[in-house]
A and B are shown apart, each in its own frame.
Chain A
Amino acid sequence: MAELLFWAALLTYGLAACALVGEARRPGLPGRLAIWGVRAGWLAHTGLLTVQAVQADGFPWSSAGGALTLFAWLVVSAYLIWGCRPRFRLLGLAVMPAAALLLLVGYARGGIGEAPGGTSPLLALHVSLMLGSFAGFALAAGLAAFYLWQERRLKLRRPGILRRRLPPVEGLEYLSARTVAVSLGLLTAGIGLGLASLAGDGGGFDAAMAVTLAAWAVFAGYLALRRAGLHGRRAAYVNLVGFLVVALALPVTHFAP
């Protein structure tokens, strides 16, 4: 059952990504099909997680593969909050291929296989919060990239600028900052729980913790700089740098074999 749901989710995510390419070329029907594809894929994905939760003895997503499966679901869920709106659909050009890839990598690493047992509730909550925050940062980075694209279009002053209506520049910047703020809250709680869990186990400081704290520092700095007046392209670049820290360093430190 899990296998079937996995392939259904992967296939529909892939088809939605293709439809979004069509939407970028000629807006209209492909975009609507893409959103239905994302919804259908998300339902299959949710079904997969439900089956995993029912079948597992404890927390089923503490392994690297399982975490990636859950992370992909969180990313798509976050996208669906705005992605259904016509103007935000093209954000899926960044989100959907990434979600499909994450799901596939998770599968390759045993994401839908048997979950390791013996995960404490504290650790399960820690993993959930960390993954939730990373999904939020991923979405914020997508919004920042979208901002840079739309801002560039306005600067270029091409005659065809209104052929495709994208979300307003100011709205994208605001949404991106809000998403970072919420995600940073989740990350802070996740780090706190991780430290508490570590203190109980008697573990020490490692590379994964260093990278996580670095990511926290970048995003906290981003929010502080915004309050101090950093806006526009530079703020978007800081946001992207923060996500790069998360995207490049964390898989290496957390999930390296």
Chain B
Amino acid sequence: MKLVLVGISHHRAPVELRERVALGRDEAGVLSQVLAAQGGEAVCLSTCNRTELYLAHDDDEEAQARAEGALDAVSGLEPEALAPALYRLRDEAAALHLFRVAGGLDSLVPGEGEILGQVRSAYERGAPGPLLDRLFRQALHVGKKVRAETAIAESPASVSAAAAVLAQQLFGDLEGRRILLVGAGKVSELTARNLLSRGAQIAFVASRTLDRAGELARRFGAEPLPLDGVGEELTLADVVVCSTSAPGFVLHGDDVAAALRARRGRPLFLIDLAVPRDVDPAVHELAGCYLYDIDDLEAVVAESLVGRRREAERAESIVAGEAERFAGWHAALEVVPAIASLRARAEEIRAGELARVEGRLDRLSDAERRTVESVTAGIVNKLLHLPTVRMKQAAVTPDGVVYAHAVRHLFGLGEDER
């Protein structure tokens, strides 16, 4: 059984081309089922950055042609238009690629976590058989292992995630922490969602127009506020996210100082994502007050990405080790049936030859017949012993497949079935 991968990704194809072959989860599942129905196994992985078809089939050329045809059909483009952007990998190279994908090493942001769920979803909706089942199970294992044994996924990769992680550095668990959003734009919302995903609660939304504040507040179950009512709520909120387009400061030093006094020592975390800034930078000097502006957060993200790339180097060695393990298993998949066939063929010949002289063996006593059986079986075993050992040794190396093919060819194994 051969493994074939045909795919397209952000490395070689612009979004105009990728969007032509992008499939929803269910559509990808259907495509897998259709391809598998034509023979072999199939799994389709489709995300915003890639669409990849993994096929397992006895004839790798046929499988590749089928995969390319499927992608052409999905895109609706001429084959010549898509072909230069496609990559085609076989066997161990294909496995290594999937392991890198699952580990987040092939992603735009190294170590991003979403891809592992997408690989799982593709596997669950696909049509895997013994080979792809093993491949995808191992890929999911690799993805988890990379994230557990390296720090690749620990650092934030976006400004909103960095703000949330910094809030955790101050408060620890964000469960039940009250967030005040000042400004009801997209940036605020994105940061709010990141904080929400870590257990925080959006308590207040303030905006220049109360309607706009009300709209966002309704979505989060928060209380809308006018912009000039923010000062009073500083006492109640733990994290304040500012992103208005106001030309001057919205939060002044005096407001924050007064709020801190009323907070009786509870710290306050201010995230200023606005340009021009919404919060007077002097408040950072106040005890118990921590202010991070957009430059601070972008610097944290840039440093995090450097760290992720450093960790990616460690992750590559994990992935390579796993790919080698898969290669050994794949080779054994070819070799073990070849050994079994060889021994079955030898036994068949031995039994056939004894049956041919059955008439002459009738004259032998039971003890003599047992001796003949034993001697012939011994000859077969001794002849096959060394080839069997050598093939088992080769089974854990990529050469195992070559050995298996050679044995099948030399002894004509499987030819009768054809």
Cβ of B170 < 8 Å from any Cβ of A?
yes
Flag if A163 contacts B307 (CB, 8 Å).
Answer: yes
Flag if B170 contacts A168 (CB, 8 Å).
Answer: yes
Flag if B169 contacts A161 (CB, 8 Å).
Answer: yes
Cβ of B299 < 8 Å from any Cβ of A?
yes
Q: How far is the CB of A30 from chain B (nearest CB, A)?
A: 14
List, in ascending order, chain A residues with CB within 8 A of B166's CB: 154, 161-162
Flag if B267 contacts A162 (CB, 8 Å).
Answer: no
Counting residue pairs across A and B whose Cβ atoms lie within 8 Å, the total is: 65
Identify B267's interface contact among A163, A229, A232, CB under 8 A: A232
**Chain A contact residues: over half helix, strand or loop, or mixed?**
helix
Q: How far is the CB of A227 from chain B (nearest CB, A)?
A: 10
Q: How far is the CA of A67 from the CA of B328 in the complex (A)?
A: 60
Identify which of B14-22, B149-157, B396-404 touches chain A: B149-157
Identify A154's interface contact among B155, B170, B287, B299, CB under 8 A: B170
Cβ of B405 < 8 Å from any Cβ of A?
no
Cβ of A230 < 8 Å from any Cβ of B?
yes
Cβ of B296 < 8 Å from any Cβ of A?
yes
Cβ of A169 < 8 Å from any Cβ of B?
yes
B246-276: which have CB < 8 Å to A?
A: 264-267
- How does the 8 Å CB contact mask read for B144-172 relative to A, with 1 for contact and 0 for none? 00000001001110000010011011111
Flag if B172 contacts A162 (CB, 8 Å).
Answer: no
A187-246: which have CB < 8 Å to B?
A: 229-235
- How does the 8 Å CB contact mask read for B276-292 relative to A, with 1 for contact and 0 for none? 00000000100110101
* Residue in B155, B169, B170, B300 whose Cβ sees the most chain A Cβ within 10 Å: B169
Cβ of B368 < 8 Å from any Cβ of A?
no
Identify A169's interface contact among B154, B170, B292, B307, CB under 8 A: B170
Cβ of A254 < 8 Å from any Cβ of B?
no
Q: How far is the CA of A237 from the CA of B172 in the complex (A)?
A: 22
Q: How far is the CA of A85 from the CA of B155 in the complex (A)?
A: 19
Identify B300's interface contact among A27, A162, A166, A169, CB under 8 A: A162
List, in ascending order, chain A residues with CB within 8 A of B304's CB: 162
Cβ of A171 < 8 Å from any Cβ of B?
yes
A73-99: which have CB < 8 Å to B?
A: none
Cβ of A3 < 8 Å from any Cβ of B?
no
Q: How far is the CB of A161 from chain B (nearest CB, A)?
A: 6
Cβ of B83 < 8 Å from any Cβ of A?
no
List, in ascending order, chain A residues with CB within 8 A of B162's CB: 162
Known A229-B264, A229-B265; judge A162-B303 contact (CB<8 A): yes
Flag if A170 contacts B170 (CB, 8 Å).
Answer: yes
Q: How far is the CB of B311 from chain A (nearest CB, A)?
A: 10
Flag if A162 contacts B155 (CB, 8 Å).
Answer: yes
List, in ascending order, chain B residues with CB within 8 A of A165's CB: 154, 169
Known A231-B265, A233-B287; judge A159-B300 contact (CB<8 A): yes
* Residue in A27, A160, A161, A232 whose Cβ sees the most chain B Cβ within 10 Å: A161
Flag if A232 contacts B171 (CB, 8 Å).
Answer: no
List, in ascending order, chain B residues with CB within 8 A of A235's CB: 265
List, in ascending order, chain A residues with CB within 8 A of B354's CB: none
Residue of A nearest to B300 (CB): A159
Q: How far is the CB of B256 from chain A (nearest CB, A)?
A: 15
Flag if A157 contacts B292 (CB, 8 Å).
Answer: yes
Residue of B nearest to A172 (CB): B172
Residue of B nearest to A157 (CB): B296
B300-327: which have CB < 8 Å to A?
A: 300, 302-304, 307
Residue of A nearest to B168 (CB): A168
Q: How far is the CB of A67 from chain B (nearest CB, A)?
A: 36
Q: How far is the CB of B51 from chain A (nearest CB, A)?
A: 34
Cβ of A155 < 8 Å from any Cβ of B?
yes
List, in ascending order, chain B residues with CB within 8 A of A162's CB: 154-156, 162, 165-166, 169, 300, 303-304
Known A165-B154, A231-B266, A232-B288; judge A154-B169 contact (CB<8 A): yes
List, in ascending order, chain A residues with CB within 8 A of B156's CB: 162
Q: How far is the CB of B63 from chain A (nearest CB, A)?
A: 42
Residue of A nearest to B299 (CB): A159
Flag if B172 contacts A171 (CB, 8 Å).
Answer: yes
Residue of A nearest to B165 (CB): A162
Q: How far is the CA of A211 from the CA of B171 in the complex (A)?
A: 36
Residue of B nearest to A27 (CB): B151
List, in ascending order, chain B residues with CB within 8 A of A157's CB: 284, 292, 296
List, in ascending order, chain A residues with CB within 8 A of B168's CB: 168
Identify A155's interface contact among B171, B290, B302, CB under 8 A: B290
Known A27-B151, A171-B172; judge A230-B267 contact (CB<8 A): no
Q: How far is the CB of B200 from chain A (nearest CB, A)?
A: 14
Q: How far is the CA of A166 from the CA of B303 in the complex (A)?
A: 17
What are 27 sample pairs from A and B whose C-beta atoms fall under 8 A apart? Answer: A27-B151, A150-B169, A154-B166, A154-B170, A154-B290, A157-B296, A159-B300, A159-B302, A159-B303, A162-B156, A162-B165, A162-B169, A162-B300, A162-B303, A165-B154, A165-B169, A167-B172, A168-B169, A168-B170, A169-B267, A170-B171, A229-B264, A231-B264, A231-B265, A232-B265, A232-B288, A233-B287
Nearest first, the 4 A-B pairs at minimum CB distance are: A231-B265, A168-B172, A159-B299, A159-B303
* Apart from A161-B166, A168-B170, A232-B287, 13 more pairs, CB < 8 Å: A28-B151, A154-B166, A154-B169, A157-B292, A162-B156, A162-B162, A167-B172, A168-B169, A168-B172, A169-B169, A169-B170, A229-B264, A233-B287
